[in-house]
Structure 1
């Protein structure tokens, strides 16, 4: 809140100065006093306030994007250049020259000045739309009564709606007839059918994931060789972060068309299996009792459901026993739980004299066979 107030003061101060300077100039002019020195100060104060306002909106709309830092000096240079041209009287002739460079496209007149205005208005409108979408997103995150998937869905829809409105407002602001966009809309539809098919598919798949709530932020999923928890749902992809902190960007379409294992879809409890072999010379029931005692060595193991031990099979090298425990935090993986329990089992077996066998083969040689003589 302190940072927001400080930013507001930095933005409002130049505009307040411009208003006071303009008022002072009008008063001096009314009393026929010299006011020429105040005339250039008003656009300077307005330019300073406009620069700070645009930079603030950019930082809020694009957050920590590297484009913001590179765009800030460009904005400052362009605005100060316009101020210099205005003060020197060259701005009006320059705009007239740019407006004269034009051609007709049907009933629409396109000039260099109009094109520049269109680009600037679209950039400004898109930036304002993204800023408003981010404000709405932050307000949605503060509401604990709305599920994460609904928050993501509302964020996607509001951003799409605001960008569409911003685009239409920008076209209308520069005098382009919206009815002339019918041909452009048809061409855009053809483009979506061919070149932008995958992008459109990922975009629509993102809405499907949000609506059916099959994948939500915080879910632990496995997609192919990728395992981790869903960190964020984007318009085109899902950010899956593994235990090493590495983010994998998986296209939304892959989550719709391929098999996805959701470890926390309805219940976050996950069963972990630990396989141990003991020698045929040892008592398997004693080994099973020791394994049950070692199950709760890890604090992540749940009391309910209770851990169980099963005799799986009689293998070549020993008797296979399987300890089954449950955990409620699959996003942290199961390797640490297995490691802690395996170490505890090894110590308990060593103290009880139970042997963990290693792979072995018996070689039986029959006597009385004659070997062929070498030539």
Structure 2
């Protein structure tokens, strides 16, 4: 009964109603700002960094603008010495809602909505709302003081539980922001037709490496770690590279060399040893080569620098395909060559320019060896299908014209031997 009487008493006071009116005005203004910004977003087009920035800000504009207006209303009420107990808890609630939407949006853009991100979203929301509840109940400050008291000294550095948690959170946030910006820059580079694919890959690698390095240094500086102590870490890293990480460093540097000298680009058809396929992706440590069976082979970048690589499409994607056929010595080779030339365009992949040609290669043991040469412009699909179509067409044309494809044969000449002695 006492609780209900307190509620009735609050409803009868004028201070409750003007606070409620202030909250309603803040909500209406926040909705109007969000609507105006949404119209500007729809009129800005669908491409470019400007559109991405506007779309990102639109997702968090409503809660953050609501928090800003509520904070301004609190200041006004406080200036006139009026109560503002209803507005006080709503400011951190609006900030928490905006922070949740911002973090979830950055995570989805940085990690492309992976299942791990989807499972982490409720955890992020739970942690933020828990902090808001602790702040409203007044338990947040004692909890932080207790975490800061759990510390020990390591030389001249003081390590506390609060500092460790801050370091982990700042590193996660900084790395997520760095990956999001790197992916955003990568998507914008792919839309630019004036930049070659190899330069796009090089810029993507360099920007990701630079942003992650900056994020790491900013995170360390944000939690108060002296950056001069990284000199010891750099020395240890140099020793590690000299012993166990030299191959990783070599592959990483080789990746930049491949991008800069443009010897291997995405889409190139290459042969490395027994591996044949087209370059699907250029990674920091390896190159993804996909063959016609759909199998991806990960070739370390160092192998492409130190070993022989056949690039079938380095300057020109046209590749010549040779088809060998033998005809009998009893047939007319010129007639056979004319028929082979007619069969050259049976495959749609054969180019008109350069024109197909036929040559008499040699007089072999079993027959006359003829060679048909055609050109294709898509070596990534292989040459076996082209050879198969043309071979079938040649077989049919030879059969209709009565031209014989000889079997392997050998001529044996038996000479007369010594006479055997007569039996007595």
TM-score, length of structure 1 as denominator length: 0.90
User: 1:312 deviation in Å?
Assistant: 2.6
Shift of 1:316: 4.2
Deviation at residue 281 of structure 1 after TM alignment:
2.9
RMSD: 3.3
Pairs within 5 Å for 1:273-312: 273-312=322-361
| Structure whose alpha-carbon radius of gyration is higher | 2
> 1:248-287, aligned counterparts within 5 Å?
248-287=297-336
Unaligned runs of 5+ in 2: 1-49
Shift of 1:368: 11
SS in structure 1 at match of 2:264? coil
Provide closer, same or farther for how the CA distance between residues 211 and 6 of structure 1 changes in structure 2, counting only shifts above 3 A. Answer: closer
Partner SS state of residue 58, structure 2: helix
Mapped to 1, the partners of 2:329 and 2:174 lie a distance apart of 77
- Quote the offset at 1:207 in angstroms: 0.7
Q: 1:330 aligns with which of 367, 379, 382?
A: 379
What CA deviation, in whole Å up to 9, does each residue of 1:1-23 have, x standing for no partner?
Answer: 99986654332222122223323
- The one-character-per-residue Cα deviations of 1:19-72 (angstroms, maximum 9, x if unpaired) are 233233334444555532332222222112111111211222222544322332
**1:2 counterpart = 2:46:** no
Q: Distance in 2 between matches of 1:139 and 1:371?
A: 94
| Deviation digits for residues 186-229 of structure 1 (CA, Å, limit 9, x no counterpart) | 11111122232222111111011111111011111112222221
Contact 2:107 / 2:113 at 8 angstroms: preserved in 1?
no
Say yes or no: does 1:70 pair with 2:84: no
Give CA-to-partner distance per residue, 1:261-308, whole Å, 9 cap, x none.
Answer: 100111111111112222333222211111111112222222222211
Aligned partners of 1:370, 1:86: CA distance in 2, in Å?
Answer: 121
The change in CA–CA distance for 1:73 and 1:236 in structure 2 (over 3 A counts) is farther
String of CA shifts for 1:240-262, please: whole Å, max 9, x gaps. Answer: 22233332222111211222110
Deviation at 1:341, TM superposition (A): 1.4
C-alpha change, 1:372 and 1:189, in structure 2 (3 Å) is farther
- Give the 3 Å change call, closer, same or farther, for CA 353–176 of structure 1 in structure 2: same
Equivalent pair of 2:286/2:300 in contact (CA under 8 Å): yes
Greater relative contact order structure (CA < 8 Å, 6+ sep)? 1
**Cα distance change on mapping 1:302 and 1:28 into 2, 3 Å:** same
The structure-2 alpha-carbon separation of the partners of 1:371 and 1:32, relative to structure 1 and needing over 3 Å to count, comes to farther
Which stretch shifts more, 194-203 or 137-146? 137-146
Q: Which runs of 5+ in 1 are unaligned?
A: none
Q: Which residue of 1 aligns with 2:83?
A: 34
Q: 1:345 offset after TM fit, Å?
A: 1.3
Q: Distance in 1 between matches of 2:87 and 2:360?
A: 93
Q: 2:61 aligns to what?
A: 12
Q: Deviations over 1:305-343 (max 9, x none)?
A: 221112233444433221111112212222222222122
More displaced 10-residue stretch of structure 1: 333-342 or 183-192:
333-342
Distance 1:8 1:135 in 2: 15
SS at match of 1:186: helix
SS at match of 2:135: helix
Kindly tell me the number of residue pairs found equivalent between the two proteins.
375
